[in-house]
Structure 1
Amino acid sequence: MNPTNESASKMDKTILQNCQVNLSTEALVEIIEKRGEGTITANGAVSVTTGKYTGRSPKDKFIVNEGEAAEQVDWGSINKPMDKNSFIALYERVLEHLRAQDTLFRFTGWAGADTDYRLPIEVITEFAWHNLFARQLFIREDNETAGKHNAFTVISAPTFKANPKRDNTNSEAFIIISFEERIILIGGTEYAGEIKKAVFSVMNYLLPQQEVLPMHCSANTGASGDTALFFGLSGTGKTTLSANPDRRLIGDDEHGWSPNGIFNIEGGCYAKCVGLSEEKEPQIYHAIKHGAVLENVFCHNGMPDYSNTERTENTRAAYPLAHIDNSIFPSKGPHPKSIIFLTADAFGVLPPISKLTKEQAMYHFLSGYTSKLAGTERGITAPEATFSACFGSPFLPLAPAVYADMLGEKIDQYDADVYLINTGWIKGPFGIGERIPLVYTRAMVNTVLEQSLEGVDTVPDDYFGLHIPESIPGVPSQLLKPWESWESYSSYQVKAAQLAAKFHENFRTFTKVSEKIKNAGPVYQG
């Protein structure tokens, strides 16, 4: 590393000499146990805790206001600026802190399975288990060029605590991206997900410059090369529905759509563990074995207890794609035939399945809607509508319309069909109705993947302007039109109007989209 500011030095020899480079999984596991960073579970995974930070800290994330980024970044509450001098000063303090460590760990590899668009990365960590995390989540280098040419360097120093007044941070924790210096600086937090998502944020900035659409989605492909994408926020079933024994997994979370097709940005998976069982999600359950990292999962006599959420509901497992039997190597696939947007609508008014026009696809991509089920919290019964642009707004350095426009262009260019599938409530809202059975959702997904909806008659949705198929094999037809499954049509109207209003309110935040896209939202205006 060679920051352009004269006050910032190169990553000096003292630090590099202290780094153990690209250690094997076995060696890292041994060091983690010896240093007391974690314990080994009965299934061979490494079990660790992350202290007070058990999830991402979005208020502690900054982008350095410098160079081209100063003009291109969509500054605001998500992309908060940090001035260059503050970054350089903090960077130097972190280097001084690292020089005092006896041993550091360095991983070199790639983000991006497509060799035409991959980014060389290096990850330097204080903790051995953070380096094991990087080894399992990113793509391991296949030669000695990784980390040497134009690499992005991630520095993870969790035991260094920032001083907000001195360092111009929000708290002791910080995640800072400098696009000019090609550095990601992380400190004050032990949560490993910051490493993964910071690299994804970098890719969301760099890939559009190469006409590649970065996407927060899972992807799989069938025997005939029919690739499908699954977008959806937490709780919508993205991981569950994309894990299909009859299809091969490209990846479960981050992908790029290039002129060559779809490629995984990562080399591993970072799955939620809450409620995990062998019966419901056998692929994930069996992927947690030697070399996997379990974050904040309670263990009893060495056995993980996935039902225990005393530490956090955000328990996680990190493991390489090789732990999934039907994964693809390299993690690439043809251009998608089907794109599925998943939402868990607790209002109970969105149809279980609908086909979207290109403009509707762009509208719902920008909206990124689902319901946060506040009913899981004591004393709160009403659901909370949640919108996250492009199904991943915390990781978008550029304006959401940039990504939506690219999606529209690719839908046109590659003739992809887009569907909105509601995995949430039917027969009424949360608390009155019921969640649609998984067997019905799988039937709808399979119908989409088989591309057997062509020519099927559709009916319009009066509130949302959606096109609802008249029939789906294996699904009762009366469930496909939500208003027909409610006991009271007037109650349905009230809830539909409420959700439509929330869509319109959220979409007012997008100022750089065409009227055609704006008009592709709910028909009901209130």
Structure 2
Amino acid sequence: MAYEVKAGSVEWNPGPERLRELTEKMPNSSVTEFANVVVKARVDSRSSKSTFIAEDSTNTTKQTITRAEYDRVADVQEAYLAHEHVVVVDGYIGSDPEFRTRARLVIEASNANIAGMQQQLYYPVGEEYDPGTWEPDTTVVYTPNLPMEGYPNDRLIAVDLNSNITRVFNSDYFGESKKGGLRMWNNIVYERGGLSLHAGCKVIPTGGENKTVLIVGLSGTGKTTTTFTTQLGSKPVQDDFIALMPEGRVYSTENGCFAKTFGLDPEFEPTIYRATTKPDAYLENVSVDEHGKVDFFDTSYTKNGRTTWPFKYVDPWPADQVEPAEFLLILNRNENIVPGVARLDREQAAAYFMLGETTGTSAGGKDEEGKFLRVPGTNPFFPRDMADMGNRMLDLLDGHEMKVFVLNTGRVGGGDGDERGKKVKIPHSSAIVQAIVEDTIEWEQDPDFGYEIASSLPGVDDIEILQPKRLYERQGRLDEYKAMVERMKTERREYLTSFRGLDDAIVKSIR
């Protein structure tokens, strides 16, 4: 049964101009030097500790609530909305008419920036759209100004996968709208026989063919940057979520981009910079002075400044003309012994996908920033038992061959402030991606981890980025290196073993 909007008053699918008008009325908004609008939200990152799934709608056992509790908070929210002015934004997750999902956002009009940002990400409804008959497949009901006592920070994201309704309380961070819809869509894709990937997608023309590359990574690890950085005239298809289906078929999700703005530099990320400075881009938690001057490097409030804008601004590859995926890149923002690139076999690919290793960023809030993390599939929005994710990935790799690699987008030899370490820079990562699709890397087996590492790679002259062991050896730190090797292999095996039902071949690939 479709969700029925019952509010004090409703604006149905208002246009971009009306949402911009409402946003400019918000007391925490202002207009920037680029003539776009910026909002300083109370909340500066997604609230993972406040996210709970109705236990009878999922097979996961982590962070669930009872059906009775979900119904209780739903009643509280509906009673609140009965006296509020709301806007409803309808659209599609995905562009393919045979695969797309009808989506709806219901939100207080006093937080219209979230509606404006979400409208940029949805694919639009067509001329046949009638709000009276539109029946969404996923619905996010969003009350940023309604606290929910008893939950962390009086904040709650309550997810019901039976009805595909997510209810958000007391957060004014746009990411809860975006991820609310995509979290439910994750489950829909799984039930259709595929797997949702927290991934960018790009097409790179080479050798007379158009190569489809998927880039998996936790928020803030360089996924969007890697997707938009150009090699050989490449074009982006999607920057955050895709569906990977049997036979390597790829489906897009969003008609816009939600990108981090910290350190945004036109020299290194010209595509994202140009789009972010367009007049109809939305900015969130980006530093702006009283004159509208934007500072993408000021982190006095947060490093997790964000922007949304229409995907058309980056001249994307047509989403309906994407060949089956040929390459899968797993990003790991590491700072010690992970090489710039490593090539994986089938079982290793599923294992490192499940390990989802990285250093946390501000996108996950203060609880994650700067800490070593393992997030299966680098997808914290998968609402099922995590073993389902690893096993489905192995099945998809069985049915369609992909070349899979781990890319370190961080450092080797030491973290920020450690003079002994070296940064893997954006030009390094770009050269690695190009060499992968052109097949110009010379490989050798790493005796410690069993995967293959590069002995020669055009565009990366520093062998210590490609083989960190050499850096440790030159610096007289081999004992430190060997200790990390043994610790990492032990911890990886233990971590994979913790997933009951995970295919044993995935665990045994860590040797």
TM-score, normalised via structure 2 length: 0.89
Alpha-carbon shift at residue 44 of structure 1 (Å): 2.2
1:423 is displaced (CA, Å) by 2.5
Structure 1 contact 227–335 (Cα < 8 Å) conserved: yes
Residue number among 447, 454, 460 corresponding to 2:445 in the alignment: 460
**SS of alignment partner, residue 347 of structure 2:** helix
Of residues 281, 286, 305, the one that matches 2:274 is 286
Instruction: Call closer, same or farther: CA 1:115–1:269 in 2, change over 3 Å.
Output: same
User: Is contact 1:215–1:254 with CA below 8 Å preserved after alignment?
Assistant: yes
Question: What's the counterpart of residue 75 of structure 2?
Answer: 92
Pairing 1:45-64 to 2, within 5 Å after superposition: 45-51=36-42, 53-64=43-54
Q: Post-superposition shift, 1:468?
A: 1.7
Give how far 1:171 is off: 4.3
State whether residues 471 and 477 of structure 1, in contact with CA within 8 Å, keep that contact through their aligned partners in structure 2: no
| Aligned match of 2:97 | 115
Which sections of structure 1, spanning at least 5 residues, go unmatched? 4-9, 375-381
Alignment of 1:327-342 (within 5 A): 327-330=316-319, 333-342=322-331
Structure 2 distance, partners of 1:293, 1:192, is 11
1:34 to 14, 25, 30: 25
Question: Partner of 1:377 in structure 2?
Answer: none
Matched residues in 2 for 1:337 and 1:11: separation? 43
What amino acid does structure 2 have at the position aligned with 1:322? K
1:359 and 2:347 matched: yes
Aligned to 1:173: 155
Question: Secondary structure of 2:199's partner?
Answer: strand
For 1:84-483, what aligned pairs fall within 5 Å after superposition? 84-101=67-84, 103-126=85-108, 127-145=111-129, 148-164=134-150, 169-223=151-205, 224-245=209-230, 246-259=233-246, 261-288=249-276, 289-300=278-289, 301-324=291-314, 326-330=315-319, 333-347=322-336, 349-372=337-360, 384-392=371-379, 394-426=380-412, 431=418, 432-453=420-441, 456=442, 458-476=443-461, 478-479=463-464, 480-483=466-469
**Aligned 8 A contact 1:26 1:291 in 2:** no
Q: What residue is the counterpart of 1:11 in the other structure?
A: 5
Secondary structure of 2:327 counterpart = strand
Q: CA deviation at 1:315?
A: 1.0
Aligned mates of 2:390, 2:496 — CA distance in 1: 13
Distance 2:492 2:370 in 1: 15
Question: Aligned partners of 1:426, 1:122: CA distance in 2, in Å?
Answer: 44
**Contact 1:120–1:146 under 8 Å retained in 2:** no
CA shift, 1:229, in A, is: 0.5
Identical counterparts, % of pairs: 24
Structure 2: give runs of 5+ residues left out of the alignment.
Answer: 363-368
CA deviation after TM superposition for structure 1 residue 441, in Å: 2.4
Q: Does the 8 A contact of 1:346 with 1:373 survive in 2?
A: no
CA 1:372–1:207 in 2, change beyond 3 Å: closer, same or farther?
Answer: closer
Partners of 1:138 and 1:516 lie apart in 2 by: 39
Q: Is the 8 A contact 1:262 1:332 kept in 2?
A: no
Instruction: Supply the distance in 1 between the matched residues of 2:130 and 2:482 (Cα, whole angstroms).
Output: 57
CA distance 1:389–1:186, change in 2 (3 Å): same
In structure 2, what residue type is equivalent to 1:490? D
CA–CA separation in structure 2 for the residues paired with 1:201 and 1:31: 27
Post-superposition shift, 1:119?
1.2
Q: CA 1:48–1:505 in 2, change beyond 3 Å: closer, same or farther?
A: same
The SS at the match of 2:309 is strand
Over 3 Å counting, the alpha-carbon distance change for 1:387 and 1:287 in structure 2 is same
Matching residue of 1:43? 34
Contact persistence 2:225–2:269 (CA under 8 A): yes
**CA 1:409–1:515: 2 relative to 1, 3 Å:** closer
Conserved? CA contact 1:20–1:105, under 8 Å? yes
Q: Distance in 2 between matches of 1:429 and 1:136?
A: 37
Kindly tell me the number of residue pairs found equivalent between the two proteins: 489
Whether contact under 8 Å (1:428, 1:492) holds in the other structure is no
The AA in structure 1 aligned to 2:352 is: H
The alpha carbon displacement at 1:159 in A equals: 1.0
How far did residue 145 of structure 1 move? 4.8
Find the residue that maps to 2:390 and give its secondary structure. helix
Secondary structure of 1:55's match?
A: coil
Change (3 A) 1:137 1:354: same
1:222-268: per-residue Cα shift (whole Å, max 9, x none)? 23321101112244322212113321111111111135821221221
Closer/same/farther in 2, CA of residues 459 and 330 from structure 1, 3 Å limit: closer
Give the TM-score of the pair, scaled to structure 1.
0.87
Change (3 A) 1:515 1:19: same
Question: Residue type of the partner of 1:503?
Answer: R
Q: Which residue in the other structure is 1:496 paired with? A: 485
Structure-2 change in CA distance of 1:449 and 1:44 (3 Å): farther
Distance of aligned partners of 1:108 and 1:434 in 2 relative to their CA distance in 1, 3 Å threshold: same
SS of match in other structure, 1:390? helix
Post-superposition Cα deviations, 1:469-494, rounded to whole Å, max 9, x if no partner, equal 33212323733332223222333223
Q: Which moved more, 1:189-198 or 1:25-34?
A: 25-34
2:65 alignment partner in structure 1: 82
Shift of 1:428: 5.6
